[in-house]
Amino acid sequence: MNRRGDERLLSLYWFVMFVIITIAVVSAVVLFYSHSFDIRAAEAGILADKIIACAIHDGHLDARFMKQDLSLSDSCGIILRDTGHSAYNEREQYGIEFIAGTNNIHAGDARLLNECGIAIAKKNLPVCAERKLSVLGENGGFVLVTIRTAVRKVEQNG
């Protein structure tokens, strides 16, 4: 019996399957690593949540946050300088606005907040987050608290 043809035929199928699997693995790795991740929206949301945790305790607004001259970065222990990238040193990368009733407190670059709400299709704009809460104030009445945060970092995510 001549079985040499069977071995050649099976090795050809084995080689074709090996090529198909190799192409699938390589294309999956390329697709996974070619997509850039933009986490600025999550970073803006986390920044807003940290300010909420600092300013509001058990549904009551901390009395410090009703003063105009309050420094958000000092009061909440938030560092707004990011020196991880050389281009970040040229311009502020974060903007925060804390509005409690008629009191308005800014931290970081307030100009970034003016660019919020513009079409997201442009990658060179900051990504923003906004939180609105109704909390109890000093006199027991409700105070509307609005926290707007913006994260620029377009050099890294562009």
Q: How much is the pTM?
A: 0.69
Shared domain for 23 and 72, answered yes or no, is no
Model confidence over 116-129: pLDDT tens digits?
766 555 667 788 88
Q: How far is CA 149 from the centre of its chain?
A: 10
Same domain? 23 vs 88:
no
In eight-state DSSP terms, residue 92 is -
Domain carrying residue 74: 40-157
Enumerate long-range contacts of 17-21, CB under 8 Å, 24 or more apart: none
Residues 6+ apart with CB under 8 A from 111: 95
Residues 104 and 119 in one domain: yes
Same domain, 142 and 64: yes
**Could you read off the pLDDT of 80-117 as tens digits, one per residue?**
776 666 655 666 788 888 888 788 888 888 888 887 76
The yes-or-no verdict on residue 27 having pLDDT over 90 is yes
CB 157 within 8 A of CB 69: no
* 58-93: b (≥16 Cβ within 10 Å) or e: eeebeeebbeeebebeebbebeeeeeeeeebeeebb
75 shares a domain with 150: yes
Residues 44, 31 share a domain: no
Counting the structural domains of the chain, the total is 2
Query: Does residue 76 share a domain with residue 61?
Result: yes
